[in-house]
Structure 1
Amino acid sequence: MFLKRRKKNMAKNPFYNKGEHLVIYFKCEKCNETFRSHLRKYYDIAVDYGKGGSMYSLQKEYIGSKCHNRIQITAVFNRAFKPLTYEITGGSFIAEEDFEEKS
């Protein structure tokens, strides 16, 4: 008997830690185009010294090929790259399994 892997709880943490990268999967709220984005920890995610210690922040904007809707993702991470806060505007986070099914 094979066990099915449980889907990740996207409400807790939509970021997948893949070594030197964080990977996020999301879709456009207007056309349902799906995206996968690899974020380099020490390049795409900036150090933010102004919040009482070393934290990291992310501000990204995406535009798909099916429509011109802007998808904005902002997040704040602790030193271990665990998200403290995150928000997506113009889209919604999806699980890796959902992205693979649609591809």
Structure 2
Amino acid sequence: MFFKKREKDLTKNPFYDKGNTLVVYFKCSKCGELFRSHLRKYYDVSVNYGGGKGAYKLDKEFIGSKCQNKIQIYAEFTRSFKPLSFDIIGGNFISEGEYNEQNI
């Protein structure tokens, strides 16, 4: 008997923990270009010294090769890199499976 792996709930956590990196998959809301970004935990994700509730924060911008639409990703994480809050502007989070299906 085989069990199908359950799809990740992107509304709770769009980030995939891969050791020293967090991987996020998303697509441009304007042209549909697919992105996969490997974010290094102690370089791309910075310590939140300000008034946020998380120990770490992420503030990244992406521009693809198909259009000049700017995609911004904001997130706050706990000390164990679990997301407390996150937002994407100019794009939509997609799952790893959806990225692999469309990027063949």
Pairwise same-fold verdict (TM > 0.5):
yes
Q: Which runs of 5+ in 2 are unaligned?
A: none
Could you say if the C-alpha distance between residues 53 and 5 of structure 1 is closer, same or farther in structure 2, counting changes exceeding 3 Å?
A: closer
- Give the superposition deviation at 1:86: 0.4
TM-score, reference length from structure 1: 0.94
1:13: which partner in 2? 13
Structure 1: segments with no counterpart, 5+ residues: none
User: Is 1:57 the equivalent of 2:32?
Assistant: no
**Identity of paired residues, percent?**
60
SS where residue 99 of structure 2 aligns? helix
Q: Secondary structure at the match of 2:72?
A: strand
Give the AA of the match of 1:70. Answer: K
Deviation per CA, 1:30-83, whole angstroms, max 9, x where unpaired?
A: 111110000000000000123378710000000011111000000000100000
Structure-2 change in CA distance of 1:85 and 1:52 (3 Å)? closer
Which position in structure 1 is the counterpart of 2:28? 28
Which 4+ runs in 1 deviate beyond 6 A? none
Aligned residue for 1:59, secondary structure, equals strand
Aligned residue pairs, count: 103
Maintained 8 Å contact 2:54/2:77: no
The TM-score normalised by the length of structure 2 is 0.93
Equivalent-residue separation in structure 2 for 1:23 and 1:41 (angstroms): 10
In the TM superposition, what is the alpha-carbon distance from 1:13 to its structure 2 partner? 0.3
Distance 1:54 1:64, change over 3 A: closer
Instruction: Give the structure 1 partner of residue 76 of structure 2.
Output: 76
